[in-house]
A and B are shown apart, each in its own frame.
Chain A
């Protein structure tokens, strides 16, 4: 169960090797979390992530999960919930793709869309149903500022996040009053393996800072969290920049 400060005792990370997901898990273990499920594509990286969290004193299990295989989500994720309550689900999987190549190869663009959007829709709905049945819990969805307004430089990724973001907001409204809380997190540029080697954007942040913002958002029962917080203002301004000008902005 979550305590009065929204700190969960059990956590399920979808995308078990995600830098942001693991930073969040570490922080939550320091609070109240004792059980962690890492769901992801089986790999040595997934196992070593689990081992690292065990070192911190948590009881950790890994489970095979592929965002692209929507058919399997019901069974794979459903099984986790039969073993005990999950107080918080962190939807942390996602791929950035390669905008240049994705524009050339529609199938690789579809892969971005299917991972970030379709995969999240099916996994999100399965988890939301299970949380609703247990009458409590938080579903925390890692969206992105890239979804707030699609940019020329990464509109394939951006559009998938825009879809995810809209989906998660709607889901939050649908679940209002059911005891289940949906929180949409919109980080800016986060230094992680996803962005390794890319030029840093302004207001760049770290997985740890995102994790901290998530913990605070849980305590406050927030519906939307921007990381860093200043992005809320920046993005609401950018949203209203006229198209011809926006096209030429170096963002």
Chain B
């Protein structure tokens, strides 16, 4: 097993810390690394796509899980897949799409591991129909603090602590996942514009149930009457008969394209307010008022940013701070207030995403709950951004909502406790299962998880 000392950050490239990185290739090697970890503990890391400090562990051990990447069995008849936790969703698509199966939930990037998907209990554009990732996990193998391996099934406390538990209950070694059948690798997409936030919410409420996938890109720099103007894209996996004749010959081909890598050094100020506003404007105007049945590649529909490797560099050396929250149905006024505050402040935020969540899943620290979620990215250098986000936290917490841990790098521990009412159970389970703190991360230290 290779071991080195590295400085690590999350995808947002803020708050680097140094740890000893182990790269286990077998379950035994992973167990050795966990048993041998020092007083500063260990944490699993997938592809490092969590934005903040969830998959780093200052002064301790980090288990890079990406060498544990075998797909063990595929049941082509039922769509049940057993794979190691370090396999990426990209790889699963490559292998399973030609067999007519698609991942049950995909986030805005394919480059996340199964372990990371369970650890953050990720959601996708189909949350209103399919829930979060853990809903499609039949069981998993978990390496716990005692060095033993347990099979964990839904409906148990350990499952609910692990789904969304940010790697703090142990190292997921493998999982059995239920895939969904698809007839083609294309998406049939409906696009429409919404003139403002209320129009958007009305459209989503009225017809989301008719689409498998739904999300809206919202222009947070638009002000006044246009506040919240957006472009909705909703879609389905295209059935075979809508494909043009040529495409029908290879309906399940998976061909994500790639653009050039983003430059390592980006001049400061490229992401100024004016250029971002201009971009948002163009993009809104370019969108059709209404268009149905457009065929798009999977990658275009789900993972537009994956086409530009290292796109996080466009925010420059100081990185950026994402913010994603959810407020429940009935709290629309809070959502309106927050959107108004962001647009009034003229934060240079590229297209933000608004989505309507469906029912939540039982994970104790799982993020989604029925309601409205808004996700945006902001350059870390914006003046007084820290205080502004603290104020937004207050709004969110008062409305009974919460902030997404996979995207957090700045929450206060007290606010977190108010947002996640099942945190005491999570802490109690950890205290019992892992009394010496074999699993710790910068996130767990910062927030006292």
Q: Which residues of A contact B (CB under 8 A)?
A: 1-7, 9, 31-32, 85, 133-136, 177-180, 219-221
Contact = CB atoms under 8 A, between A and B. Distances in A.
A1 B318 contact: no
Contacts of A2: 15
Contacts of A4: 12, 14-15, 52, 319, 321, 380, 409-410
Contacts of A177: 7, 18
Interface in B1-21: 7, 12, 14-19
A9 B380 contact: no
B68 interface: no
* A-B residue pairs, 6 tightest by C-beta: A135-B59, A179-B18, A135-B58, A4-B409, A4-B14, A1-B446
Given A4-B321, A4-B380, A136 B409 contact: no
Interface of B: 7, 12, 14-19, 40, 52-53, 57-60, 318-319, 321, 380-381, 385-386, 409-410, 412, 442, 445-446
A221 B381 CA distance: 11
A32 B412 contact: yes
B16 A1 contact: no
Contacts of A134: 40, 58-59
A220 B381 contact: yes
A2 B385 CA distance: 15
B380 A5 contact: yes
A134 B38 CA distance: 11
B17 A136 contact: yes
Contacts of A135: 17-19, 40, 57-60
Contacts of A136: 15-18, 58-59, 442
Nearest to B411: A3
Nearest to B14: A4
B410 A179 contact: no
A50 to B, nearest CB: 23
Contacts of B386: 3, 5, 7, 31, 219
30 contacts: A1-B53, A1-B58, A3-B386, A3-B446, A4-B319, A4-B321, A4-B409, A5-B321, A5-B380, A5-B385, A5-B386, A6-B15, A7-B386, A32-B412, A85-B445, A135-B17, A135-B58, A135-B59, A135-B60, A136-B16, A136-B17, A136-B18, A136-B59, A177-B7, A179-B16, A179-B17, A179-B58, A219-B381, A220-B318, A221-B318
Given A5-B321, A220-B381, 8 more contacts: A3-B446, A4-B319, A5-B386, A6-B15, A7-B410, A9-B446, A177-B18, A221-B318
Nearest to B414: A34
Contacts of B58: 1, 85, 134-136, 179
A5 B446 CA distance: 13
Contacts of A85: 58, 445
Contacts of A133: 59
Contact of B7 (A1, A7, A9, A179): A179
Nearest to B409: A4
Contacts of B15: 1-4, 6, 136
Contacts of B18: 135-136, 177-180
A9 B410 CA distance: 11
A239 to B, nearest CB: 27
Nearest to B10: A4
A68 B19 CA distance: 34
A3 B410 contact: yes
A1 B412 CA distance: 11
Contact of A1 (B40, B381, B445): B445
Contacts of A1: 15, 17, 53, 58, 442, 445-446
B151 to A, nearest CB: 33
A136 B53 CA distance: 12
A221 B15 CA distance: 9
Contacts of A178: 7, 18
**A9, A179, A219, most chain B CB atoms within 10 A:** A179
Contacts of A32: 412
Contacts of A7: 386, 410
A220 B157 CA distance: 42
Contacts of A9: 446
Contacts of A221: 318
A188 to B, nearest CB: 24
Nearest to B13: A4
B168 to A, nearest CB: 15
B255 to A, nearest CB: 36
Nearest to A221: B318
Contacts of B445: 1, 85
Nearest to B53: A1
A5 B59 CA distance: 20
B392 to A, nearest CB: 14
Contacts of A31: 386
Contacts of B14: 4-5
A51 B340 CA distance: 41
A71 B159 CA distance: 52
Contacts of B409: 3-4
A177 B9 CA distance: 12
A4 B323 CA distance: 12
Contacts of B12: 4
Nearest to B60: A135
Contacts of B59: 133-136, 179
Contacts of B17: 1, 135-136, 179
A180 B318 CA distance: 16
Nearest to A220: B318
Nearest to A176: B7
A82 to B, nearest CB: 10
A136 B410 CA distance: 16
A147 to B, nearest CB: 28
A179 B40 CA distance: 15
Contacts of B40: 134-135
